[in-house]
Amino acid sequence: MTAPHDKPNDGGVPVPVTPAGASSGAPAEHPPSSPAGRGMFGNQGSGDVSGYGGLVRPRRSVESAARPFGGYFDEVHDALEEAYPGFADAIEKVVVDRGELTLHVRPERIAEVCQVMRDDLALRFELCSSVSGVDYLGADERRLHVVYQLTSMTYRRRVRLETAVPAENPHLPSVTAVYPTADWQEREAYDMFGIVFDGHPNLTRILMPDDWEGHPQRKDYPLGGVPVEYKGAEIPPPDRRRSYQ
């Protein structure tokens, strides 16, 4: 698989390009607090009537959970540790929150971990329920996270695997060889976040048009602000919309 940033104009995988209007209206670029004298209401300096005030909140970093994790989480953790020799290297963090277990996995190890999770008799996560991306812009150096929700039908358990890659080098192995169902979901994550899954059989856009520029679900991609091809009309980004002030 050719990396898009290696060969920008080689056809095939579209190049991640900043879309028109992407430099404005982004959460990260809005000032974090309101100017004095305006109280706590309203969004200043913007005619946005969508209700989007551009608030930016610092994210708390998630802390590793301490043993015992409770429930079946210890069993899953230990079974994976036993079955997978590279456990100490591959698992960065174990988080238990709201009754859900999250294993933070090093991105280059994700396919191996999935293979063990699926095949080991004590784990048996036969179904990969969901693969999706989350963009933690400004909160994490490796801002693009990929989240895998695995389901064990045998033991009726759920586990979440999470990996993080930087936006400059958004590469990680595809899990399609282990879970063929990840095919379209990885394509969606590529389409929406620009995450490149190496080894995917056909990593192309799936929901957006093939010639679309940019990755819409990234946090620095604005809502609106994209020219629409209808009688020359254009929808301005929220902060340039008609002002009612």
Residues at the site binding other proteins, with contacts judged by CB under 8 A: 41, 50-52, 55, 57, 59-60, 62, 97-100, 102, 126-130, 132-135, 139, 147, 149, 151, 153, 156, 158, 160, 179-181, 183-185, 188, 205-209, 216-217, 223, 238
Place of tokens 């590529």: 190
Q: Which is nearer to other proteins, 173 or 214 (CB)?
A: 214
Q: Which is nearer to other proteins, 7 or 38 (CB)?
A: 38
Q: Is 185 left (phi over 0), alpha (psi -120 to 50) or beta?
A: alpha
User: In whole angstroms, what is the distance from residue 84 CA to residue 117 CA?
Assistant: 9
Q: Which is nearer to other proteins, 6 or 63 (CB)?
A: 63
Taking the complex as a whole, the smallest distance from the CB of residue 3 to other proteins amounts, in Å, to 24
Q: Which is nearer to other proteins, 5 or 115 (CB)?
A: 115
Place of tokens 């080991």: 120
Report how far apart, in Å, the C-alpha atoms of 195 and of each of 3, 18, 200, 206 are.
Answer: 10, 15, 12, 13
Q: Which is nearer to other proteins, 189 or 196 (CB)?
A: 189
Taking the complex as a whole, the smallest distance from the CB of residue 51 to other proteins amounts, in Å, to 7
Taking the complex as a whole, the smallest distance from the CB of residue 89 to other proteins amounts, in Å, to 25
Q: Which is nearer to other proteins, 40 or 88 (CB)?
A: 40
Q: Which is nearer to other proteins, 80 or 96 (CB)?
A: 96
Taking the complex as a whole, the smallest distance from the CB of residue 155 to other proteins amounts, in Å, to 11
Q: Find, among 179, 178, 163, 171, the residue nearest to 203 by Cα.
A: 171
User: In whole angstroms, what is the distance from residue 141 CA to residue 169 CA?
Assistant: 12
Distance of CA 87 to the CA centre of its chain: 23
Task: Please report how many Cα atoms fall inside a 13 Å half-sphere around the Cα of residue 148, on the Cβ side.
Answer: 31
Q: In what helix (H) or strand (E) does residue 84 lie, and over which residues does it extend?
A: none
Q: How many residues does the chain have?
A: 245
- For the chain, the straight-line distance linking the first and the last C-alpha, in angstroms and rounded, comes to 51
Taking the complex as a whole, the smallest distance from the CB of residue 152 to other proteins amounts, in Å, to 11
Taking the complex as a whole, the smallest distance from the CB of residue 221 to other proteins amounts, in Å, to 8
**Structure tokens that stand for 7 in this block:** 């060969």
Taking the complex as a whole, the smallest distance from the CB of residue 191 to other proteins amounts, in Å, to 8
Q: What is the largest CA-CA distance in the chain?
A: 64
